[in-house]
Amino acid sequence: MTEPIVEIENLHISFFAKIGEIPAVIDFSMKVMPGECMGLVGESGCGKSTVALAIMRDLPGIGRITKGTIKFRGRDMGEMSQEELRRLRGSQISMVYQEPMASLNPTMRIASQLMEVPIIHEKVSTEEARSRVLEMLKAVKLPDPERIMNSYPHQLSGGQQQRIVIAMALLSKPALLLLDEPTTALDVTVEAGIVELVKDLGKQFGTSMIFVSHNLGLIRETCDRITVMYSGEAVETGNIDDVISRMRHPYTQGLF
């Protein structure tokens, strides 16, 4: 039987503030198989982005996994050393955040930022890195990639910035790509282009994906399976068509 890329079992995450412990994720379970795109849907504040950050082991300082396991390719990430986690992040697991400018250095040209990925993770030459970046910019359907590479982030549109962040995440050919509401700040036409891009790249590179969103329409367009979160818990999961045709939880019904 094929092993899941990522398997989450009975995960509990809390934030510890001055007022005490605030549970954010409660008894959450989910698995993603190789080449599969899993949609993680829920209202704002339900804990879906927190789950994505927990997979990256990038929770804010007051956040902590209090119970449960996250396994990547069969290995419990909680038992990995900081060095092992550093090697995983950006190489085998990549994340695209909600706001592309938060992932881009405003003082560096795009070429320098993208070339860092293969140079650091794979120790390739500058020439090889530049060649790979050019190919990836073409793959994410950016026009005039040479001009883009010589630009600074502020010289590009929001849609172009988001495609560059996706290119950056894919440069190391990760086994798992996390997309945390990557179309939130984009207008409808640009959003449609990003959704098409995600679908095409999933087929082209065979990357497993977790697509975090509160927009069920986007999830239906891009994902194979869906997990619905409500108030920190997974209330429904399964193939998209099965969940939609037999919605059991009032929140899932309300999404329509």
Residues 210 and 84: their CA atoms lie apart, in Å, by 22
Contacts 24+ apart (CB under 8 A), 187-194: 190/157, 190/158, 190/159, 190/162, 191/218, 193/141, 193/159, 194/159, 194/162, 194/163, 194/166
173-to-51, 67, 85, 168, 249 alpha-carbon distances in Å: 22, 31, 17, 10, 37
Is the pLDDT at 197 greater than 90? The verdict is no
Closest CA to 77 of 65, 62, 61, 95: 65
Segment (H or E) for 60: none
**Low-confidence winner among 44-53, 163-172, 200-209 (lowest mean pLDDT):** 200-209
- pLDDT of residue 149 exceeding 90, the answer is yes
Indicate the range of 19-33, 55-69, 148-162, 241-255 predicted with least confidence: 241-255
Which is it for the CA torsion 231, 237, 239, 244, positive or negative? negative
Top-confidence residue, 113 or 253: 113
pLDDT in tens, 74-132: 999 999 999 999 888 878 999 888 777 778 999 999 999 999 988 988 888 999 999 99
Task: Give the pLDDT confidence score for residue 185 in this predicted structure.
Answer: 63
> Higher model confidence: residue 11 or residue 140?
11
- Alpha-carbon distance of 128 to 57, in angstroms, equals 30
Measured CA to CA, the distance from residue 178 to residue 235 in angstroms comes to: 21
Does 73 score more than 90 pLDDT?
yes
